Structure 1
Amino acid sequence: MKWFQTVALGLSILVTTGCASTSNQQWLYPPMAVPLQASMQQEVQIARLSQLLTRPDLSDELRAKMLFERGNYYDSVGLRDLARLDYSQSLQLNPSQSDLFNALGVYYTQVGEFDAAYEAFDSTLDLNPDNSFAVRNRAIALYYGDRIDLAIEDIDSHLADDPSDPFRALWAYLIKLEKDPLTARQDLLSMYQQRDNQWGWVLVAISLGEVSDEQAFKAIIAGTRDNTVLAQRLTEAYFYLGKRYQHEGNLVSAISMYKLAISFNVYEYVEHRYSFLELKRIFTQIKADQIAKAKLDAPTQP
């Protein structure tokens, strides 16, 4: 989910099916959407801004704004290193841009530069203490940086501001799984039972296993005929399904889900971004396990 967007979807399909068995439903082919491509508007805007930025008569304030805007367009088509360069140049001209620090923090989280991410989110909140998305993003960065206690403090504060937000509830659950899985599940289940019709509660149902995978994907596919929306929802669904599989120890299925989440090119969504990070963490874990096993299996010297 891009942290500025909420999509509503009726949960009638899930409600009418009731609480399904938690056993996984297998499908012959996974539900898919056509991967998103850069639009003509995005390409034209990048070209237009690039041309305008060559003008020598731009004020620093205007140049900083245009660099930030072009960086956002670069980011939306997956050119994240170019986006980071534009963000950095924009900050040099105008360091008082809270949203830009937030964007940089997400970038640093994705590439595993957690100290830089913390500093970026701290700068966002120094400039704009009311930026709740920066609090959530910092909590996620702390979670991936294995600073779970601090992550819980941030995500609890974020959730308290709006307990009806399924994405706040879901990330609170994922973070607290690291400390107390039973309580984390009970808390999320309690919020799920009081749900409204926001789309994100489908993702909560997937994470809890309250509906089968088959029922969840039927609800997603029935909810829209727009390919862009379908790609966005499948990106989210595969990411959180991957998190569930990973927590269950089913790394093979988790890897498949993260790769599917990446496949739709929904570059702006954190679920697309953090799928790369999750894959890296899994491969690092597998490599460490293999090295440890090799040491145990190695013959001892006489």
Structure 2
Amino acid sequence: MGELDRAIADYDQIIELNPRGPSVYFYRGIVNARKDDHDRAVADYTQAMQLAHQDQRGSGDRKAQLQGQADDPAYASSADGQSIALASGDGIALRARGGAYAAKGDFDRAIADYDEAIRLNPRDKEAISARGNAYKTKGDFDRAIADYDQAAQLDARDARVYFHRARVYWQMASLAKSLTDLDQAIQLNPKNAYPVLWREIVARRSDQLSEAAKQLDATKWPAPIINLFLGTMTPEQVRSAADDADPVKKKGQVCEANFYVAERALQSGAKEEALKLFDLAAADCPKTFIEKQAADVELGLLRASR
């Protein structure tokens, strides 16, 4: 229901009644991560693992306990918004804690957690893809590509992997490879607006955006950004549409609005306006947002060309 503070209050009360239940700390960690309180999320995930190791029932029962809760809505999202795929033992909590570390900007610790999750389950494509994201943000593109390649081999129909890899190819200026991956991501999930937007950014061909936009839900964000690129909304209207009563949602949408308005300004030759908006996006976007990482790249390119 989005009432995160009330959820945490209930988890606090459960912990007061039974402070040695590992799954409650894990649940609370997910909620803290959704609140962008990643320090507390890390602490909760760590406590969950520590208590699980103290559980005399052993790691096999811990795995069964977590897998038995797989249908619970609280397990639907990890710290970075990706779905949690059940691995073995501590892999679930390790991956979630890695996401919280990544959201804090501590990518070395995030990678260490992903490494351990992958050691526990070498076929954990969620951990492999998340590690690729961390390597990408650190600028280690070769390792990022290797992880995305492995994730694609494990699940060739995961559109997210192609989208992630496409943005690495974009940063490497391998535009043909980037477009190929974006096309694959769009084919696999035509209702996701972001690969469509990025194809427009990479290809600078709004006719293809117009065709792809027919597949998208015009009533949901980021529809205003699509309309900006189609020329049916102004930057001011997009920024106004980014407002939301949920402060976390608003922060994300304002971040995206600034980035994509900046891209549109760059396409029209308004480099100073683009520079100002990329600065806003780089400063305000959450660290795990693709727009934060892309804004940093665009700022570097723009400043190098001045």
Which TM-score applies when normalising by structure 2? Answer: 0.69
Is 1:185 aligned to 2:212, yes or no? no
* Counterpart amino acid of residue 287 in structure 2: Y
Structure 1 residue 91 displacement after superposition: 2.4
Q: Distance in 2 between matches of 1:137 and 1:127?
A: 15
Query: Is the aligned partner of 1:124 residue 2:148?
Result: no
1:236 offset after TM fit, Å? 0.9
Cα shift readout 1:183-224 (whole Å, capped 9, x = no counterpart): x11121344467532212211223344322112222222xx2
Deviation at 1:58, TM superposition (A): 5.4
Give the partner amino acid of 1:240.
Answer: Y
Does residue 280 of structure 1 match 2:300? yes
2 CA distance for matches of 1:49 and 1:274? 34
Does structure 2 retain, via aligned residues, the 8 Å contact 1:243–1:254? yes
Secondary structure of the residue aligned to 1:62 is coil
What percent of counterpart residues are identical?
21
- Once the 2 structures are TM-superposed, how far is the Cα of residue 256 of structure 1 from its aligned partner? 2.1
Contact 2:98 2:114 in 1 (8 A): yes
**How far is the alpha carbon of 1:244 from its aligned partner?**
2.0
RMSD (Å) for aligned C-alpha atoms: 2.9
Q: Which among 200, 217, 221 is matched to residue 199 of structure 1?
A: 221
Partner of residue 10, structure 1: none
Q: Per-residue displacement from partner, 1:153-179 (whole Å, max 9, x unpaired)?
A: 2211221234343223212211212xx
Helix, strand or coil for the counterpart of 2:288?
coil
Structure 2 CA distance for aligned equivalents of residues 254 and 50 of structure 1: 45
Structure-1 separation of matches of 2:245 and 2:158:
33
Asked if the contact 1:46/1:74 (under 8 Å) is kept, the reply is no
Give the 3 Å change call, closer, same or farther, for CA 49–73 of structure 1 in structure 2: farther
Q: CA deviation at 1:39?
A: 5.9
- Matched residue, 2:194: 167
Match of 1:244 in 2: 264
- Asked if the contact 1:37/1:265 (under 8 Å) is kept, the reply is no
Q: Which residue of 2 aligns with 1:211?
A: 233
Distance apart, 1:245 and its partner CA: 2.5
Q: Decide whether the 8 Å contact of 1:49 with 1:70 is kept in 2.
A: no
Aligned to 2:80: none
CA contact (8 A) 2:92 2:117 kept: yes
- Aligned partners of 1:166 and 1:198 also within 8 Å: no
3-state secondary structure, aligned to 2:111: helix
Match runs of 1:63-74 below 5 Å = 63-74=90-101
Q: Is the 8 A contact 1:53 1:66 kept in 2?
A: no
Is this contact kept in 2: 1:143–1:151, CA < 8 A?
Answer: yes
Q: Deviations over 1:130-171 (max 9, x none)?
A: 211101111221122111112212211221234343223212
Assess if the C-alpha contact under 8 Å between 2:163 and 2:181 holds in 1: yes
Identify which of 124, 145, 156 aligns with 2:172: 145
Cα distance change, pair 193–113 in 1 and its aligned pair in 2 (3 A)? same
**Counterparts of 2:229 and 2:135, CA distance in 1:** 26
Structure 2: state its 5+ residue gaps: 1-34, 61-86
The 3 A distance-change label for structure 1 pair 198 and 249 is same
Q: Which has the higher contact order (CA 8 A, sep 6+)?
A: 1
Distance 2:125 2:285 in 1: 26
Q: Which has the higher mean CA deviation after the structures are superposed, 207-216 or 95-104?
A: 207-216
Could you tell me the TM-score, scaled by structure 1's length? 0.70
Task: Give matches, 1:1-302, under 5 Å.
Answer: 37-38=36-37, 42-49=41-48, 51-52=50-51, 61-177=88-204, 184-192=205-213, 196-221=218-243, 224-283=244-303, 285-286=304-305
Q: Which residue identity does 2:219 align to in structure 1? A: N
Moved more, 159-168 or 228-237: 159-168
Between the aligned partners of 2:46 and 2:167, the Cα distance in structure 1 is 34
Q: Quote the Cα distance in structure 1 between the aligned partners of 2:165 and 2:248.
A: 28
Alignment-mate amino acid for residue 214 of structure 1: E
